[in-house]
Amino acid sequence: MSIVVGDTIPDIQVMTNSGGSPTHVQTRDVLGSGKVVLFAVPGAFTPTCSDYHLPSFVIRHDELAAKGVDTVACISVNDPFVMAAWGESQNVGDTVVLLADGNGEFTSAVGLEMDGSGFGLGTRSQRYAMVLEDGVVTGLFVEPGGGLTVSAADAVLEQL
């Protein structure tokens, strides 16, 4: 069963790349305070994720902040080195916190896994966006298929 509006975000250890070094962080510490938009991608460097999903949040960062969003974060079932390289290639800077859910533990805890084995990806995250207020889910937008219609920054901005 997947997480729903009204649930509290699970407190799972994931990784980020801080100062060039992989660093363990707890999701509650990164996502549990203030207004947060968390979006998930099936994989860094994949076409839709790199061409549209992540860039939409980088481009719209100021608009999200103007709507009261304190943190924008992206999570993927990738390792922290891949996430760091992806962030550099996408010129993310400090606009989006990139979280590596290398073992898929957060993805599993929120119940939003997908089977990407047909593409050689194994178990990955579904594509979604989530709005959190002090760690509580106030909006959840899971893509119904392979497209990008409800979880890109433009769609999230319409819901804020």
- 53 phi and psi, to 5 degrees? -65, -65
First to last CA, the chain: 25
Residues comprising the chain, all counted: 160
Helix or strand run (H / E) with residue 36: strand 35-41
Q: Where are the alpha helices (H) located in the chain, listed in sequence order?
A: 27-31, 47-48, 54-59, 61-66, 80-89, 105-109, 153-159
Kindly name the residue from 49, 72, 73, 156 that is annotated as catalytic: 49
> Is 49 an active-site residue?
yes
- Lookup: tokens for 89: 């290639």
Distance of CA 128 to the CA centre of its chain: 8
Which residues are known catalytic residues? 49
